């Protein structure tokens, strides 16, 4: 064999090998399949197809029910066509090596469907929110505009409507629901618009079942992440059922990651005021509640004719005709005629006509005509009954109860003692 012939032979073999590899590398979904199945479990049907076409299926059993019954008749049909006969249009098939991944087809994330101009001071944005995975409508989703602090909750059909001010050039919509990833979209102002928004669940990697062997392999298909619950939540207390609506509580749950600050707010009652139902997400420098209010926090001064409820912290002065209820820390002064409560530490003074409560440490003073309660006191309690879970601090009252000490009865001044080493 001459050198020229040898080279031609080698080149021919390489071309033939490339063609074979190309044929092997062609889409697995183009492989032909023949199958006859009448009301057989989906898992068994996929196993038969897998063995016949030399492919491996991967899918999430939380999404696809292996026990559902399937009827399919196919003779030398492309695998993609056979799979389409088994699954409806809401599923898609993607190749990865020798695997075919079966998963739900995601719907569009957010699209503007219609627009119409307006020269008015206000314009409407309405639309629908769905689950990205299955296209089902999502209820109790919060749709809000951060700058204007205007929000809406979706109904059972996933519908919402918002009236926004035209003075802002852009409407920056944010969409939040507990258990779902937040999403946002910017829309032009001064136009009535209808939008379609899809939310994606918050996920961690799950395990997918390989149909032909039953083995498990890592998959991109996910399961829902469980959110942590706050240690102290004002909205769990019985008194909030009287003043805070269910919609307000749902919105607060959806907006755990969003808080903002404003100079002032004025409210008649919770959800009736300058910030509407967004009030629990706002920290104010000055807060005036004509009857009562519910805010995210106070950094300055807050007064309520009847009550003040604060989701997070208070720094400054808080005065109420009946009660003050704070979920977080108090740094400053709380004054009320009946009841003060801090869900965390008090650094300052609590003064009440009846009861003061601090769920953690009081670094300052509690003064009440009836009862003072604190987990620990690094200061003074003055009241008829004083209760603390520590041996620190001083108590002046008729009955003083502290951890590790006997109950003292009478006008007793209990001074702190140093622990023996």
Q: Are 175 and 143 in contact (CB under 8 A)?
A: yes
Domain boundaries defined on the chain: 27-105+206-224, 110-199, 234-414
Write the DSSP symbol of residue 279.
G
Distance CA 373, CA 323 (A): 15
Q: Are 232 and 343 in contact (CB under 8 A)?
A: yes
- Positive or negative, the Cα torsion across 74, 77, 79, 85? negative
> Residue 249 is encoded by which pair of tokens?
């509580």
Locus of tokens 């979209």 = 185
**Which run of H or E residues covers position 178?**
none
Angle at 104 between CA 174 and CA 42, to 5 degrees: 155
- At residue 271, the pLDDT reads 84
Locus of tokens 């609506």 = 245
> Residue 185 is encoded by which pair of tokens?
């979209």
Closest CA to 54 of 77, 76, 24, 75: 24
CATH architecture type of domain 110-199 = Sandwich (2.60)
Query: What pTM did the predictor assign?
Result: 0.66
- At residue 207, the pLDDT reads 38
Q: Are 339 and 355 in contact (CB under 8 A)?
A: yes
The SS3 assignment for 374 reads strand
Three-state secondary structure readout of 134-156: CCCECCCCEEEECCCCEEEECCC
> Residue 355 is encoded by which pair of tokens?
């009861």
Q: CA distances (Å), 149 to each of 144, 201, 278, in order?
A: 7, 25, 6
Q: Are 164 and 151 in contact (CB under 8 A)?
A: no
Kindly give, in sequence order, each residue whose CB lies less than 8 Å from that of residue 32, ignoring residues fewer than 6 positions away: 53, 76, 77, 78, 79
**Which run of H or E residues covers position 417?**
none
- At residue 162, the pLDDT reads 93
Q: Provide the residue count of the chain.
A: 421
Question: Domain 27-105+206-224 maps to which CATH number in 1.10.150.530, 3.55.50.30, 3.40.50.2030, 1.10.645.10?
Answer: 3.55.50.30
Distance CA 368, CA 355 (A): 6
Distance CA 254, CA 249 (A): 9
Alpha carbon 147 to chain centroid distance?
Answer: 20
Longest alpha-carbon distance in the chain: 120
Distance CA 13, CA 15 (A): 5
Q: Are 322 and 307 in contact (CB under 8 A)?
A: yes
Kindly give, in sequence order, each residue whose CB lies less than 8 Å from that of residue 108, ignoring residues fewer than 6 positions away: 196, 198
- At residue 372, the pLDDT reads 97
DSSP string for 85-109: HHS-TTEEEEEETTEEEEEEPPPPS
What are the 10-residue block averages of pLDDT along the chain, 421 residues in total? 56 49 60 88 89 84 82 88 83 83 68 67 91 86 93 95 90 91 86 88 49 39 36 76 88 89 94 90 95 95 96 96 96 97 96 96 96 95 93 89 63 52 46
């Amino acid at each position: 064999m001459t050198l020229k012939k040898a080279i031609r032979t080698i080149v021919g073999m390489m071309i033939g090998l490339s063609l074979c590899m190309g044929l092997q590398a062609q889409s697995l979904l183009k492989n032909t399949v023949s199958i006859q199945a009448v009301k057989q479990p989906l898992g068994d049907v996929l196993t038969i197809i897998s063995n016949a076409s030399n492919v491996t299926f991967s899918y999430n059993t939380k999404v696809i029910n292996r026990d559902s019954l399937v009827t399919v008749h196919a003779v030398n049909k492309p695998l993609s066509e056979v799979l389409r006969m088994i699954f409806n249009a809401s599923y898609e098939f993607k190749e990865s090596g020798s695997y075919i991944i079966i998963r739900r087809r995601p719907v569009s994330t957010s699209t503007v469907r219609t627009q119409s101009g307006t020269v008015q001071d206000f314009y409407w944005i309405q639309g629908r929110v769905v689950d990205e995975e299955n296209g089902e409508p999502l209820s109790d989703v919060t749709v809000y505009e951060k700058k204007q602090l205007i929000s809406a909750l979706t109904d059972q059909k996933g519908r919402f409507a918002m009236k926004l001010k035209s003075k802002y050039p852009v409407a920056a919509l944010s969409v939040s629901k507990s258990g779902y990833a937040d999403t946002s979209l910017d829309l032009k102002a001064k136009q009535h618009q209808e939008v379609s928004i899809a939310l994606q669940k918050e996920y961690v990697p799950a395990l997918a079942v390989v149909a032909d062997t039953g083995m498990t392999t890592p998959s991109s298909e996910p399961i829902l992440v469980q959110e942590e619950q706050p240690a102290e939540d004002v909205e769990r207390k019985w008194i909030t059922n009287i003043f805070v609506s269910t919609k307000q509580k749902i919105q607060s749950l959806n907006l755990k990651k969003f808080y903002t600050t404003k100079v002032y707010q004025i409210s008649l009652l919770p959800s009736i005021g300058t910030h509407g139902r967004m009030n629990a997400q706002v920290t104010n420098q000055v807060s005036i509640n004509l009857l009562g209010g519910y805010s995210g926090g106070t950094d300055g001064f807050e007064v309520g004719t009847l009550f003040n409820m604060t989701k997070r912290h208070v720094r400054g002065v808080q005065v109420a005709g009946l009660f003050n209820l704070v979920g977080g820390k108090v740094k400053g002064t709380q004054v009320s005629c009946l009841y003060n409560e801090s869900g965390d530490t008090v650094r300052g003074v609590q003064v009440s006509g009846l009861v003061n409560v601090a769920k953690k440490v009081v670094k300052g003073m509690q003064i009440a005509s009836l009862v003072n309660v604190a987990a620990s006191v690094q200061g003074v309690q003055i009241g008829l009954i004083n209760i603390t879970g520590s041996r620190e601090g001083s108590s002046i009252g008729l009955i003083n109860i502290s951890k590790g000490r006997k109950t003292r009865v009478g006008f007793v001044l209990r001074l702190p003692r140093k622990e023996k080493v």
